[in-house]
Chain A
Amino acid sequence: MLNITLAHVLTLSSLLLSLGVAGMVLNRRNIIAILMCLELVLLAVSLNLVGTAYFRADLGGQIFSFFILTVAAAELAIGLAIVTLFFRNRGTIEIDAADLMKG
């Protein structure tokens, strides 16, 4: 049986983070996908905290991950609400349509 170490956990977490970031930056079409990538990033952080807490026998990290989950849920609720309104106004959820800030 494979012996799982802290390094494994951190590597997985880094991979998840990178995946989330790459999805956010490279994705050019869908706002929902960005929100999902955002969740992925938060997940990576949570995994990081949980893993570290486990291996260091410190519950503080695990408790912190609950906060992150709560905040992520709230953030997603707001994010989806914004997306819904955006769709109502523009009839699309393409990211390129959200360019009012263009200088």
Chain B
Amino acid sequence: MTTFGHLLPTLAVLLPLLGALLGAASYGVLKGQALKNWADGFAMLTTTGGVLAAAACSWLIFVGLLDGTVQPSQTVWLEWLQVGGWQVDFGVLIDRLSATMLIVVTTVSACVHVYSVGYMAEDPSRRRFFIYLSLFTFAMLMLVTAPNLLQMFLGWEGVGVCSYLLINFWYHKPSANAAAIKAFVVNRVADAAMLVGLFLLLATFGSLTYAEFLPRVAELATEHQLTLNLIALLLFIGAMGKSAQFGLHTWLPDAMEGPTPVSALIHAATMVTAGVFLLCRLSPLYEATPEILHLVGWVGALTALFAATVGLTQTDIKRVIAYSTCSQLGYMFFAIGVSAYPAAMFHLTTHAFFKALLFLGAGSVIHAAHHEQDIFKLGGLRKPLMVTYVLMWLGSLALAGIPPFAGFFSKDGILESAFMAPDGIGWGLYAVGTLGAFLTAIYGFRILFYSFEGQPHHAHHHDEAHTINHQPSTTNHSPHESPWIMLAPMLPLAVGAVVSGYLLKGMLELDWWQGAIAINNWTESGLHHIHHTPVVAKFAPLILAILGITLAWYLFAQHRAVAKKIAQEFSIPYAISFNKWYIDELYELLWQRPLRALANELYRQGDGRLIDGVLHRLTAEVLSTGLSLRQLQSGNLYHYALAMLLAVVAAFAYVLWGVN
């Protein structure tokens, strides 16, 4: 165990890569249509097996860290760069922060891999899908275990690329293409800021290794406050892009164009939480820049509220969950804003379980309803999809923050630490967050009730399909429960959604993190005092959540006409919410149109007038010179003869008289 124990972190990070490489090798070795099924099976086996093994390693590390048999460590694989006195290594850093991320990433990834075996069973390109998934897992693991920011950035961009590839997995769909490009471009904007932040950090500290620069933040704080603020701000912008915070969130809902398991893994549980992880990892830096921390808190709170209001009216089941993700990420940032990094990480962990569960449940619904995602066209699925229904209930209860489900512990931790933050700076955040919790309960149960309650729509729907496609009537088109291979991986997530909050609530204590997270004035921080939260503040979010669920039950399960009437009555707020606060339209007006006009103008002036102008002028000159020169070619033999003669005479004259 001792020698093997040292290898565990390396194995956990590299096994998914190995699985992906083996799967990719099958393209070269097992060629041909006849072997396609075998090759697909082989790739699914290696990728899923690799991730499952990585998950096992991660849990061994995590449990070992908890009971003390594994010590926090930093393993160097190889020296990557050495420039002057600056050195960057490839390696793996294990402490409680990265171990927490390890179990979150590998567990959700393993569940998603197994789930995808069922979900993607009929897709001809499923091998590519699994390879991308495993590659993503590797990049994400590298992101969370990197001992320095440069390797972290490699993983950061790696998950971005894999996200692009997976959103665009069904590349024949123009909407998927557009969504993938949008995700990539929005993330470029954020990453550009992040890269500048990294440069600035390197210039200020001379190192990008956490262990080297983080302890020195405090000593530089007084002298270089402005630089530190700038670094913190730029890195936060990078985190905002990846974690879809307000302003740079526009790509996340569109990213739902990808297959549902992708949404569960990348756009709910892991990649989008990278920003939260990064800020927690850099907690000493953010502790030294209270102004930026304040901004982080308000951006998070704004996102939490904004996304919750938008989630209320969307009709696509996946988009609602995507906005929910956006909103929950907002909670995590707002926890960071009040220095409650442990609460943010705790919510990240519980959220990964219940949100992945919700997405996989939604995938099960979509699978059962033959790729119908509009909640108004779903309905009455409770009886045929009993297992999915129960699992979705668990996930939704956890999302709404009902005890004893996981979301209750983490969300309350966040709200209470905001309420108890010193000098009442968090009261505004608390109010916004509590309102958000109310809305969360409503939209969370709205999709549940619309999908599962009410009258089934499918009968009519599939009659149409029959007549259009002339399918044989023996085919069974009624909604059916998903196969066990899809339901089984949802069970561990459901267990996580139920018990992870209670089991891991020790995460709310700073000591639990064993120095991986630093908080100045811990004894005065809000998180330290959450046990003294006034009863009213403690129970307000819970009561509002229960009210929200009841309201959702009344409006969306019992009296849908009332819901429609409310929508008509308040048409302006409804339109704002339905059109996502017109952010896309605003960006169209602010960025796309001016940029397109500028590009058009550059095309016309630069390409059209300058480059084409020079070329056209050049060719025109050559042409006219040629035209005048061709007059010399008369075609008459005697002209040539005369020219030859004259030339000979001239040559003789030169020889005779010209030489000397």
Contact = CB atoms under 8 A, between A and B. Distances in A.
Interface of A: 21, 24-28, 31, 34, 95-96, 98-103
Interface of B: 629-638, 641-642, 645
Contacts of B641: 21, 24-25, 34
A-B complex: 5 closest residue pairs judged by Cβ atoms: A102-B635, A103-B630, A99-B635, A103-B633, A101-B635
B635 to A, nearest CB: 3
A70 B631 CA distance: 38
Contacts of A101: 633, 635
Nearest to A100: B635
Contacts of B637: 31, 34, 95, 98
10 contacts: A21-B645, A25-B641, A25-B642, A26-B638, A27-B638, A98-B635, A99-B635, A100-B635, A102-B634, A103-B632
A28 B641 CA distance: 12
B635 A25 contact: no
B642 A99 contact: no
A102 B636 CA distance: 7
A82 to B, nearest CB: 12
Given A21-B645, A25-B645, A103 B638 contact: no
Nearest to B630: A103
Given A103-B630, A103-B631, A95 B645 contact: no
Contacts of A103: 629-635
Contacts of B645: 21, 25
A95 B633 contact: no
A17 to B, nearest CB: 10
Nearest to B648: A21
A24 B642 CA distance: 8
A96 B631 CA distance: 16
B632 A95 contact: no
Given A25-B641, A25-B645, A95 B636 contact: yes
A31 B638 CA distance: 10
Contacts of B632: 103
A25 B644 CA distance: 10
B638 A24 contact: yes
A101 B639 CA distance: 12
Contacts of B634: 99, 102-103
A27 B636 CA distance: 11
A25 B638 contact: yes
B636 A96 contact: yes
A28 B638 CA distance: 7
B414 to A, nearest CB: 87
A45 B635 CA distance: 28
A26 B637 CA distance: 10
B324 to A, nearest CB: 78
Contacts of A28: 638
A25 B642 CA distance: 6
A101 to B, nearest CB: 5
A70 to B, nearest CB: 22
Contacts of B635: 98-103
A22 to B, nearest CB: 10
Nearest to A24: B641
A101 B631 CA distance: 11
Given A21-B645, A24-B641, A25-B642, A99 B636 contact: yes
A95 B641 CA distance: 12
Given A25-B645, A102-B635, 16 more contacts: A21-B641, A21-B645, A24-B638, A24-B641, A25-B638, A25-B642, A28-B638, A95-B636, A96-B636, A100-B635, A102-B634, A103-B629, A103-B630, A103-B631, A103-B633, A103-B635
Contacts of A25: 638, 641-642, 645
A98 B640 CA distance: 12
Contacts of B638: 24-28, 95
Nearest to A99: B635
A95 B636 CA distance: 7
B622 to A, nearest CB: 15
Contacts of A102: 633-636
A99 B634 CA distance: 8
Nearest to B643: A25
Nearest to B635: A102
B305 to A, nearest CB: 80
Nearest to A41: B645
A101 B641 CA distance: 14
A24 to B, nearest CB: 5
Most chain A CB atoms below 10 A, which of B631, B632, B634, B638? B638
Nearest to B632: A103
A96 B637 CA distance: 8
Nearest to A38: B641
B631 to A, nearest CB: 6
B637 to A, nearest CB: 5
A9 to B, nearest CB: 20
Nearest to A101: B635
Contacts of A99: 634-636
A12 to B, nearest CB: 20
B642 to A, nearest CB: 5
A62 B631 CA distance: 44
A101 B632 CA distance: 10
A102 B645 CA distance: 20
Contacts of B633: 101-103
A43 B559 CA distance: 121
A19 to B, nearest CB: 13
A31 B642 CA distance: 15
Nearest to A27: B638
Contacts of A34: 637, 641
A76 to B, nearest CB: 17
A52 B186 CA distance: 94
